[in-house]
Amino acid sequence: MQATELGRPHARDTAHARPLTRHDYKTLSLAALGGALEFYDFIIFVFFAPAIGQLFFPQSIPDWLRQLQTFGIFAAGYLARPLGGIVMAHFGDLLGRKRMFTLSVLLMSLPTLLMGVLPTYASIGIMAPVLLLLFRVMQGAAVGGEVPGAWVFVSEHVPQRHVGYACGTLTAGLTAGILLGSLVASAVNRHFTPADIAGFAWRIPFLLGGVFGLFSVYLRRWLHETPVFAEMKQRKSLAAEIPLKAVLRDHGRAVIVSMLLTWMLSAAIVVVILMTPTLLQKHFHIAPATALFANSVATLFLTIGCVLAGSLAGRFGAGRTIFIGCIALGITYYALFQQLAVDSSLLVPLYAVAGLFVGVIGAVPFVMVNAFPPVVRFSGISFSYNVAYAVFGGLTPIVVSLMLKSNPMAPALYVGALCAIGALTACCVKKDAAR
């Protein structure tokens, strides 16, 4: 839907060329900060999974079963993402972007805070893991609404020519949450003994995340509804039917493209950023501290890469940016594994370069916000992104682990294959915008 169809050609045409204002930067900053804190809350669980497993399940069960149940609760957050995202997107398309954007942070902060004060199995028995699972599902529902909601929110606030930069900056904020979680976990492990962590220190990151998340809810009070939604509401042009129904009926091509790009995105994040530190330790015998340091550097470069990719997508086109970025990522990650098989001295610089090219994911939301018209944009992005991430993000560790049994280069080959899919999908990206 073009701006003229919304009845405000003078506003949108003029806004297309205007520079970013202080209000735009404020909106971007608050959105990115909230996204970073929300992603921190979502992933901090995995850094303290061993302690949580010991505290929230019976001591009598085998270690492998305790670990399986702990990571099962962690995975439940991913499985809850599609349902939470679809429901929140439905109301986001009908009631407003800002309401759901604020609700997602609240829905993440409260369960994170409650996890920090949750009694253990020794205190309340089976209710401990049950409540932990409930809070984890709430977190998954929240992040399912936050990510697509944030992309829609910032893209509908800034001028069209800055949408790529805005989406890249917002995605950088989300990845910064992963880095923040890693740094906080490292600090806790550095300053407390294993006994202290099992006794009380594991709660500190959850309490911090919950408190800062609630502060982010307060800050989002100062955000305004997007001009695009406000105008649709004023002109009574909101969806006349269930938004998701219209998405599946009329925008199948956009859904497929968005899902394929999300598959590439999930492979880049799950394998290159989340799985690689463990792979470095197990398969290349690199010390944990060294692997985690290299991962922190790579994640920092990923944050920078997201902003660069988003900016380049807005200026030169998302298709071209994603195509080149995918090829570069596939090559650099493969080169990292090839070099580590011989010598690990170049780990940090090579991992940093691979992390920089993982930043190609910063151009993916630019494709999505332009693929769906405003009236169903939130629902279209939420369905495509969350369903694809739940399926592919959940299956990726299993597939890579099975591949590793026969080929030590399996992670690099998997990422390379998904980069090829991403590059081919980029050739199908339309250049026109559904603004």
What would the two tokens of residue 280 be?
């470095």
Per residue in 134-170, pLDDT (tens digit) is: 999 998 888 888 888 889 888 888 888 889 999 999 9
pLDDT at 272: 94
CA distance readout (Å), 102 to 31, 37, 383: 10, 13, 19
pLDDT at 50: 80
The answer, yes or no, to whether residue 36 has pLDDT greater than 60, is yes
DSSP codes of every residue in 29-59: HHHHHHHHHHHHHHHHHHHTHHHHHHHHS-T
Question: Which of 266-275, 408-417, 424-433 is the least confident region?
Answer: 424-433
Mean pLDDT of 17-23: 75
Per residue in 399-417, pLDDT (tens digit) is: 888 888 888 899 999 999 9
Name the CATH topology of 22-228: Growth Hormone; Chain: A; (1.20.1250)
Per residue in 302-336, pLDDT (tens digit) is: 999 999 999 999 999 999 999 999 999 999 999 99
Mean pLDDT of 220-228: 76
The answer, yes or no, to whether residue 12 has pLDDT greater than 70, is no
Range among 134-138, 190-194, 239-243 with highest mean pLDDT value: 134-138
pLDDT at 237: 59
- Give this prediction's pTM: 0.83
The answer, yes or no, to whether residue 7 has pLDDT greater than 70, is no
The answer, yes or no, to whether residue 354 has pLDDT greater than 80, is yes
Q: How many angstroms separate the CA atoms of 181 and 200, rounded? A: 18
Per residue in 40-76, pLDDT (tens digit) is: 888 888 778 788 888 998 888 887 787 778 878 877 8
Cβ neighbors of 259 (< 8 A, separation 6 or more) are: 384, 387, 388
The band of 16, judged by pLDDT with boundaries at 50, 70 and 90, is low
pLDDT at 9: 38
Mean pLDDT for all residues in the chain: 85
Percent of residues, the chain, with pLDDT higher than 90: 39
pLDDT at 129: 92
pLDDT at 239: 62
Q: How many angstroms separate the CA atoms of 271 and 145, rounded? A: 23
Q: Which CATH number fits domain 241-435: 3.40.225.10, 1.10.3720.10, 3.30.2420.10, 1.20.1250.20?
A: 1.20.1250.20
The answer, yes or no, to whether residue 233 has pLDDT greater than 90, is no
Q: Count how many residues are written for the chain.
A: 435
Residues 299 and 179 sit within 8 Å (Cβ to Cβ): yes
The band of 366, judged by pLDDT with boundaries at 50, 70 and 90, is very high
Instruction: Please report where in the chains the tokens 């299956």 appear, as a residue.
Output: 395
Cβ neighbors of 146 (< 8 A, separation 6 or more) are: 34, 35, 38, 101, 104, 105, 108
Per residue in 109-132, pLDDT (tens digit) is: 999 999 999 999 989 999 999 999
- In the chain, where the domains are located: 22-228, 241-435
The answer, yes or no, to whether residue 15 has pLDDT greater than 70, is no
Residue 12 identity (one-letter amino acid): R
User: Is 22-228's fold the same as 241-435's?
Assistant: yes
Question: Which of 7-11, 134-138, 261-265 is the least confident region?
Answer: 7-11
Axis crossing angle, helix 22-47 with helix 163-191, rounded to the nearest 10: 40
pLDDT at 413: 95
